[in-house]
Amino acid sequence: MGPEAKRSELIYEGKAKKLYKTDDPNLLVQEFKDDATAFGATKHGIINQKGVINNRISEIVFKLLESKGVATHFVQRLSPREMLIKKVKVIPLEITIRNIVAGGMAKLLGLEEGLILKEPVLEYHYKEDNLHDPMINEYHIKALGLANTADLKVINSVSFQINNILKSFFDRKHLILVDFKLEFGKHKGKILLGDEVSPDTCRLWDKTTKEKLDKDRFRMDLGGVEDAYHEVLRRLEVGN
């Protein structure tokens, strides 16, 4: 199935993306929207061209990760807003990796934003909007059957591997990878990285000025949201 592939029935619409069936039961089309939400979707807005930018940024990141041996759901970009992906059974967890304190960790532990952590922190959050994605631990995950021990082992090691790859990649683009969120799913018994990797899901700061170049500009009403997303793509496209 190539770029001419036709999407058919809409099977899911989330806050930032839509999923469509294709002729192939193993493949879906993921369409990126311009909609932005924050704080459990209580804040909503449109970031002009965000869908186009996040589709392209995710393509660059997924290709990089695949080239380093990380299995992802990415197949190919089809159009400005669409990518072809492998259909997965979503594991209802959000995996957060933090290199520097910000956002939820600053709030939870009363820490100052910008504190450099001695080692990366991995958090599990239960993917449930109504509950605002509460933080859970391995015991919750196993007791509730959200993922088994073997799957969690893979998810943990792949997440740290992704952190190492992306930290140095963004560093070469003069960006600091503060933290990010990953989602995984299962395709034919194999765990794949799913969803997207973009300024919606990563905190990225300019290495020199520490200027925020991610969704925090929208969350905190800092202005210049579209410019920040464009700037991240511009830096990533150099050499890609």
Sites of contact with ligand 5GP (CB under 6 A):
94, 96, 102-105, 133, 179-181, 200-203, 215
Position closest to ligand 5GP via CB: 103
Count the Cβ atoms, other than its own, within 10 Å of residue 137: 10
Closer to ligand 5GP by CB, 82 or 216: give it.
216
Please count the CA atoms within 13 angstroms of the CA of 54 that sit on its side-chain side: 26
The CB-of-39 to ligand 5GP minimum distance in angstroms stands at 9
Backbone phi, psi, residue 42, to 5°: -75, -25
**Measured between alpha carbons, how far is 33 from 20 in angstroms, rounded to an integer?**
13
Question: Which residue, 22 or 97, is less far from ligand 5GP as judged by CB?
Answer: 97
Nearest distance in Å: CB 29, ligand 5GP: 20
Q: Which is nearer to ligand 5GP, 175 or 202 (CB)?
A: 202
User: Of 43, 58, 88, whose CA–CA distance to 201 is shortest?
Assistant: 58
Beta carbon of residue 240, minimum distance to ligand 5GP (angstroms, whole number): 22
**Among residues 59 and 133, whose Cβ is nearest to ligand 5GP?**
133
Rounded distance between C-alpha atoms, residue 159 and residue 147, angstroms = 15
